[in-house]
Structure 1
């Protein structure tokens, strides 16, 4: 039977109809944009407002994507064009897409969305950054970190640079703006004493899968790489030596896994002998969990799973580290241990080849590994001790 659509009075282009005793709404409007007749139509809305909102959005986006006069582009209209092109070309990963969507939705579009692209200026933008710098949380601490301000700045700058490339703009008014924040940056330094305290507590109080998850970042692995370890990732030699093949990463926006950060991140790393037994036990527990849920794990299945044999959420490792931080009084997080690995390896430069350390971490350049070297308080003390013994005492 053909569905009968009835016009809703006072709401042009909106119709109602009945389907299995439910009253639903339909939006439909034909509109000519730049000489092209477009038909916007969709069924299944629960309310008139939902139908009208969808229709208005579709027409607005169509107008934005068909702008021929460069002077008419607003930040919002160019964002839609830019977004569509990036998604279509596959330039953005799932994580990049989610971050750009979030930054534009929460920060850039509410403030600059209706501003003409050519009218975005340095003064108004700096005023906006100052507002963010001075925004406080309920406990009166700064709300936005320098990293967050950097994400906003990079996102809007990328949009403007794309407009320059496409001949819409001539120059970028946001160049060389210094980013500062009242929020203290998260420390990337941990002393040997703190490191050992945390490690000792973890090995005494964690076990099985939790302990394995906690220990892998101490080998310099990224958060996503830890969560992306699969059964086929593990290679064990006859003498008990264990290696991990890092080929996949799981993130908040790619829970099923994705390729590693770059080609240099694909690597084979040796597992600390002290961690091998822990990982072996985690493998045993993981297989048992799959079995208890009537499944045999395949080589492509993830190791770190719940009692129901479901891969742990990406944030599970973050919460695990928070629990350890609370118990030990030492603030730690997964990426801090990656920095610690680079820092402690740097202290042994006489014994280790910096290129080997860089390759182990999956860095393209040794310079990146050097940036990860945060130094330690013990190292600073060693500097003055050596300076005194090798320079000042000799001079005296």
Structure 2
């Protein structure tokens, strides 16, 4: 075995290889009274080794090191840890959590949930993606969404030292014969649609539909209140300050701070809101 030499940094060692100096991180820990050790070699720079050591120290301090000490942790088990971190850091809203949970439960957990992370292989995974595309008939964009979620989970596992690498990176997802959706609509069809909507919808529902033409999101329209509509001599305006969704019926702020804005309305839109 190549001789390891101490460095100026505790828990970091160096050794020589044919390709130059490499670094090793070794850190002892105790979980529920049971001692263990994190040991990883192959770092090309001291900076990389120190970064990994800091990461490990954080896991120990936050009592998250159990994930690393369990080499057979399954996808379901790791997803729960991954989800808890995102919720604790407030990176996911209630609506995001609901959507992501649904994607995971219906398309990833049912296939790989009980499989240890280290045993999820690229070949089996690609077969499952092909099944989604060509047997289940799912849209290409939907399958890409599920794939991005899977990669986010595995990339987190790599950062946490649970996996050496993400074997599912750079998987190509393409549905043969699928044509890109045309999202453009000509003026004649737009007018035809709006005229028909005005004919069959209630005034309130038509007003909600009409407001989407000003770039408002659904949640922003549902979050409008009387005080957000400003009637001025130079026109009618909407202050976009609040959104409402199924998971946040009492309302919350806009999606991003920059989404707070004033929108000038046409005379027709103003009349609908009076």
TM-score (norm 2): 0.71
Distance 1:95 1:221 in 2: 18
SS of the aligned residue for 1:181 comes to coil
- 1:143-222 equivalences under 5 Å are 144-181=138-175, 187-222=182-217
> Per-residue CA shift, 1:240-299, capped at 9, x if unaligned?
x1111111222233232222221221111101222111111xxxxxxxxxxxxxxxxxxx
> Per-residue CA shift, 1:311-330, capped at 9, x if unaligned?
xxxxxxxxxxxxxxxxxxxx
Asked if the contact 1:229/1:248 (under 8 Å) is kept, the reply is yes
Is the counterpart of residue 275 in structure 1 residue 273 in structure 2?
no
**Structure-2 change in CA distance of 1:207 and 1:106 (3 Å):** closer
SS of the aligned residue for 1:243 comes to strand
SS of the aligned residue for 1:255 comes to coil
Identify which range, 79-88 or 250-259, moves more after superposition.
250-259
Distance 2:124 2:112 in 1: 10
Distance 1:159 1:257 in 2: 30
**Structure-2 change in CA distance of 1:180 and 1:259 (3 Å):** farther
Residue of structure 1 in register with 2:99 after alignment = 99
Residue of structure 2 in register with 1:116 after alignment = 116
Asked if the contact 1:243/1:269 (under 8 Å) is kept, the reply is yes
Distance 1:125 1:180 in 2: 14
SS of the aligned residue for 2:252 comes to strand
Identify which range, 89-98 or 248-257, moves more after superposition.
248-257
How far has the Cα of 1:186 moved from its partner?
Answer: 5.1
SS of the aligned residue for 2:251 comes to strand
Residue of structure 2 in register with 1:129 after alignment = 129
Residue of structure 1 in register with 2:232 after alignment = 237
Distance 1:184 1:95 in 2: 30
Distance 2:125 2:158 in 1: 18
Residue of structure 2 in register with 1:34 after alignment = 32
SS of the aligned residue for 1:91 comes to coil
Asked if the contact 1:65/1:77 (under 8 Å) is kept, the reply is no
Asked if the contact 2:68/2:160 (under 8 Å) is kept, the reply is no
Is the counterpart of residue 250 in structure 1 residue 248 in structure 2?
no
Distance 1:65 1:170 in 2: 16
Asked if the contact 2:158/2:165 (under 8 Å) is kept, the reply is yes
Unaligned 5+ residue runs, structure 2? 1-30, 35-63
How far has the Cα of 1:114 moved from its partner?
Answer: 1.6
**Structure-2 change in CA distance of 1:233 and 1:185 (3 Å):** farther
How far has the Cα of 1:152 moved from its partner?
Answer: 0.7
- 1:2-151 equivalences under 5 Å are 34-35=32-33, 66-136=66-136, 142=137, 144-151=138-145
Distance 1:215 1:154 in 2: 34
Distance 1:107 1:231 in 2: 42
Unaligned 5+ residue runs, structure 1? 1-32, 37-63, 137-141, 281-396
Asked if the contact 1:95/1:251 (under 8 Å) is kept, the reply is yes
> Per-residue CA shift, 1:34-80, capped at 9, x if unaligned?
349xxxxxxxxxxxxxxxxxxxxxxxxxxx99445242221111111
Asked if the contact 2:67/2:162 (under 8 Å) is kept, the reply is no
**Structure-2 change in CA distance of 1:67 and 1:178 (3 Å):** closer
SS of the aligned residue for 1:175 comes to coil
How far has the Cα of 1:184 moved from its partner?
Answer: 6.0
Distance 2:255 2:173 in 1: 26
Asked if the contact 1:212/1:279 (under 8 Å) is kept, the reply is yes
